[in-house]
A and B are shown apart, each in its own frame.
Chain A
Amino acid sequence: MKKGDRRRLERLFDGRATLEEELALERDAVDDGQLAAGLARVRALLAACEALPQPAHERLDVEALVAEVRAGLEHGVAQTNEALMETGAVTAPGPSAWRPRLAWSSLAAAFVAGIALWALAGERVLTERAPVSPAVEHPAERHVLGPAEAVEAGPSHEPIADRTANAEMRETGSTPGGRTAWALPGIALPSAPVDGARREAALVVLADVLTRAEVLLTFDVRAPGDAAGFAARADAAFVAQVEGLWPLASLAEALLVHADPDVAARAARYVAARRDALTAGRLARALERELATASAARQVVRLAAASALAELGAFDALARSFDDLCEAGILGEAGALGEVRDLEALLAAWHAAGREELGPELARALSRGWRPRSDTALVHLGALGRPGADVLARLALEGTPRSPSALTETRRGLRAGEPSGDSLTLLAASPFGASAVEDLVRAERNPSGARLERSCALIDATGSLGALDWLTALARKGETRAQLSLARLPGVEPVATLVELDAEGLVRDDRVWSELVSVDAGRVVDRVREAANVAPGDAERLVACLIGSGGDAAAPVLATAAGEPRLGTRTRERAALALAQLAPSRIGVTETQTLCLELEAALGDAWRGHEDSLVAALVVASDTWLGAESLTRALQRLGALRAERVVRAAAHGSGADSALARQARVERTLDTSRVVAKEPSSVDRGRRGNRGT
């Protein structure tokens, strides 16, 4: 068989041959016996392969396989990776991803078990401890009795467990009274009754006891953070180990300055847990001492002391230390020590104590440097009421809450608290102030009273247009506060909304209109021009609302309306007359100049028209705003007859307004215009004469 034919057969066998190739093979096989035989063998082989039993997928129980695989993994059936290495599936030896976890878990479990057993060594004492005095049963008492029979009053002169008794305890595992006790490893009590040594030994015992108590409490799922439980365990363990009457609180206070910060922190916790009358003082003194040290390691103690004071509700003492705490970094850099949880506990305690009057101090301290690293801190801040909300507002201003959950907590806290005006201002300037406000107000579905006031104040502070719908809904219910906030929102949309509400008879308080122009008259001008083009009726209604209730701030709007040719003559006339009653001195220079330009233009346009009453109204307004000289020049341009007609119209009024003040100006203008009509050349003289009179 040719080499090429063998290749063709191979291609046929492994499926690479195309149909054409196969047909070609058949054709060639007709004349080539060997090729024909080879072709027959390949086909027979392929047919046999096809006839081989097929995988019984239907018999494969996939779920059972899943269960078996899981069981295999759990029972460590997994083989080493040598096999995988052989396959080349992996290139480097490495541990199983699952088995190391199992190994670590086992190691951790063993460690935990060891710790628990070690701690239980002390715990056994609790179950079979020596009888204690009532002081032990009542931790408020500061002295704790040991198993010795004698009860002495002095705090540090009592004999500590003598060498024999303690040796017996360690060696036999029983107390002198026959009760079993577990010896404390590594604690060598002094053999001689030396006061200093005994005290040191007692301190060592107490430090160890506190450690045991804390460990046991850590593993106590029933009361993992139970301060009273912690103190009780410590008391009992101490009593079982040391004879005599000992001032445990005093000892613990001494431990507050222990070289090991962890021991000192436990001591602070213990002192706080005992809650006697002197506890806060001790802690405060310890805190002051700690604050005097510059060691970063002592921050653990400072934090523990501060936290304990907070737990005790000793906020006055704590507040006195706030500046020092901040300087020491307790509130400023607590996160750097990974002690956020303790600080959160402090916040929680603060909240629980309801000492809101100290909130500003806390807010000041917190906003000075501390940055919450977890949402829990934000939750506590939110629960602090106004102080917490103030802090949150400050944090929001600084952009501290970044994650969605943190922002949510911040908003929630702001909703729950009632931020002060300053904080609202801060909040308004914060990156998410507007959205926070929208969120805040939307939560108030049907607010009233103070809640409505607060929500509206928030909107006022942020000028959040996202709250427009919410405000509109409330304004439609006739809520004046909401209408006022609506008037303060930026843009022309709130203006249009208020006009709509007025058309429905819902705006009853004139303050709304004065607020509308006081905040920003420019947008109202814009709205007048905009509406004059598409909805003159709305513009005229808006002008009508501002006449008489807009105040001086409405002057630019009235001037615009007076000169707006797309508005009705009647509206323009009324606007001009209302403008005439306002005082230019109460309006800014820039505004006045702008207004005068508009008025001059309006007057010039009006001359060309035939509405004498409108011209008359503009003349009256011009008299107020442009001065006599400009008015005289304008009247001179009218000619005598027209000027007289206009002045007469002004004198009689159009019925639009008849205020006394306007009437007086009209009278004066009439006098002037008479001069104009009779002696056009002596206008100036006449006016001077009038003014002189």
Chain B
Amino acid sequence: MARLLTRMDEASALERLVVLARGGERAAGDALVRAFAGEVYGVLFRIVGNHEDAEDLAQEVFVRALSALDLYRGDGPFGGWLLRIAVHVGRDHLRRRGRAPVLLGLTGIAAGDGRPEPGAALEHGELTAHLAAALERLPAPLRAALALRVLEGREYDEVAAALGVRPATARTQVMRARRLLERLLAPWLGARHGRDTR
């Protein structure tokens, strides 16, 4: 695949792969999976927060995508379309999971009085653990927006396309996610740095 992409323009190569896969060419479908496996997995990991789920969901994403290739209109990058499916699959997964607390190294988070000093928390990685827990509690769209923009570093256009919203909406969702996180993590953030987290 990499060799293929160096030979041809990436977009046209992907387009061709999509066409071939749409025509039932298994090898092309496989190539698409290989091309986007890392990206899809990465986004899913950011959304669901653990490797196993992300890996399983990646499979689901690709199965769904390849099953519905005829529905890909080609009016945007294939990667964006795939990302959109991944976000949906991730959000769906979060809904099914019912926002249950994830492990993600949270052992011991509840220890102590629950209001550690932010500095100490950072030093011990506790803030990170609490952040992970807080991310789990975020509404799925906000979490996805935060993951794509802040954790993945994607452009707002891309985030918006993946979320199926306008870029301005995506920005708003990221803003709301930050505020929610600050509120959820206030015990660890606000003790030393004030409470202006509206």
Contact = CB atoms under 8 A, between A and B. Distances in A.
B178 A10 contact: yes
B85 A87 contact: yes
A89 B194 contact: no
Contact of B46 (A10, A36, A55, A57): A55
B158 interface: no
Interface in B15-60: 22, 24, 26, 29-30, 33-34, 37-38, 41-42, 45-46, 49, 51, 54-55, 58-60
Contacts of B34: 62, 66
A138 to B, nearest CB: 49
Interface centre among B54, B185, B196 (most CB of A within 10 A): B196
B150 interface: yes
A404 interface: no
Interface centre among A33, A42, A49, A59 (most CB of B within 10 A): A49
B10 interface: no
Interface string A39-72: 0111011111101110111011010011011101
Interface string B151-177: 101000000000010000001001100
Contacts of B55: 59-60, 65
Interface in B46-104: 46, 49, 51, 54-55, 58-60, 62-64, 66-73, 81, 84-85, 87-89, 92, 104
Contacts of A47: 122, 127
Contact of B196 (A37, A88, A89, A97): A37
Contacts of B30: 66, 69-70
Q: Which 9 A-B pairs have the closest CB atoms?
A: A37-B194, A78-B67, A97-B70, A88-B164, A90-B71, A55-B45, A87-B88, A40-B193, A72-B63
Contacts of B63: 69, 72-73, 77-79
Contact of A15 (B26, B87, B153, B175): B153
Interface of B, secondary structure class, is helix
A640 B2 CA distance: 97
Contacts of A14: 149-150, 171, 174-175, 178
Nearest to B80: A89
B67 A55 contact: no
A197 B175 CA distance: 91
A86 interface: yes
B84 A52 contact: no
Contact of A49 (B37, B54, B88, B151): B151
A443 to B, nearest CB: 35
Interface string A91-113: 11011111101000000000000
Contacts of B26: 70
B66 A69 contact: yes
A45 B71 CA distance: 39
A47 B60 CA distance: 32
A56 B45 CA distance: 9
Contacts of B182: 41, 45
B131 A49 contact: yes
Given A38-B194, A69-B30, A83-B89, 20 more contacts: A13-B178, A14-B149, A37-B193, A44-B189, A45-B178, A52-B135, A55-B51, A60-B37, A60-B41, A62-B38, A70-B26, A78-B66, A78-B67, A81-B68, A83-B64, A87-B84, A89-B71, A89-B84, A90-B68, A96-B68
A84 interface: yes
A550 B164 CA distance: 88
Contacts of A89: 68, 71-72, 81, 84-85, 88, 164
A24 interface: no
A68 B189 CA distance: 43
27 contacts: A15-B150, A40-B193, A41-B194, A51-B125, A52-B128, A53-B104, A55-B54, A56-B45, A56-B51, A57-B42, A60-B37, A60-B51, A62-B38, A65-B62, A69-B30, A77-B63, A78-B64, A83-B89, A87-B84, A89-B71, A91-B73, A97-B67, A97-B70, A98-B24, A98-B67, A98-B69, A99-B67
